[in-house]
Amino acid sequence: MMQLRHIAQRDAKLLSFLRQELGLSSTLVKRIKFREAYRVNGQVVRTNFPVKAGDLIEVCLDEPTPEYPAQEGRLEILYEDQWLIALDKPPGLLMHPSSCRNEGTLANYLLGYYQKTGQACAVHPVSRLDRDTFGVVLLAKNAHVHAKMMEIAQKEGLNKVYHALVYGCPPEDSGIIDAPIARREGSSLLRCIRPDGKEAKSAYRVLEKRGKAARLELKPLTGRTHQLRLHCSHRGFPILGDPQYGSEESQAFSLQFGFPHQQLCAFSLSFPHPLEEKQVEISSRQDVSLDFLPTEDI
């Protein structure tokens, strides 16, 4: 059972403690009150219960099982505690089911893992990756922790670092790409750089150059769909293996060396833990490499 526990230091209605000391959102307070989630000194109570100083408040954050099926599948767990789990997602794996596909996604496999290990959790992505992007993904085990992680992200406390192989190389060793992103007309998925788009900024640093390719460190300073892929393409160094935003030259080069998917890895993630006093740093066991090229120019 996932529980928040608190010893009251004052007299007040339970709702006051739920919103202030325990930090539950008003939406969550309303959502779980019908699950007998609130207890004071072991007694099931309502949110208007009068709490006295010294009383033990407990909130059960167990979640109902999602509607999509739980499945057994391989998961590479990089980090796990009572509240969060981080996985090393392989390329080619969708994050969650859709109206077109209800099985065979990371969410199906994670739900299967939760059921196998007796955890009453749901799947709440904190970070998301495109199907063919690989590396660290972070998920909260319940809605409360997910909301806390979103607050951290909004305060720029969620530090994401990506590694990418690109065709060409930036003229400077480091810099900021500032180019607004909008939905491409006639497409529900693809995006484009457009003056009327939403603000989008990415930081880059050159890690290595070899021949016609380079290895970059990328940090998204905003969180737009396909942001890193678009920004690299816009600046003239598209990510290798990218079928949507690559140039003719980069796609021919990718085909020559047999890249089956975009060479973009969510390499590391760091953040202050939402419920524990510690900094969490997680790194992928995967990465991108220029070793496919000889050391001399080709």
Active site residues: 130
- Burial label, 211 (beta-carbon count in 10 A; 0-12, 13-18, 19+): middle
* Distance from C-alpha of 39 to C-alpha of 194, rounded to nearest angstrom: 52
Report the b/e string of 90-112 with b at 16+ CB within 10 A.
Answer: ebebbbebeeeeeeebbbbbbbb
CB within 8 Å of 176: residues ≥ 6 apart: 201, 202, 203, 204, 221
For residue 124, give both structure tokens: 């709440």
Residue 16 CA to its chain's centroid (Å): 31
| Residue 222: exposure state from Cβ atoms within 10 A (0-12, 13-18, ≥19) | middle
Please, which residues have CB within 8 angstroms of residue 203's CB and are 6 or more apart in sequence?
A: 174, 175, 176, 177, 218, 219, 221
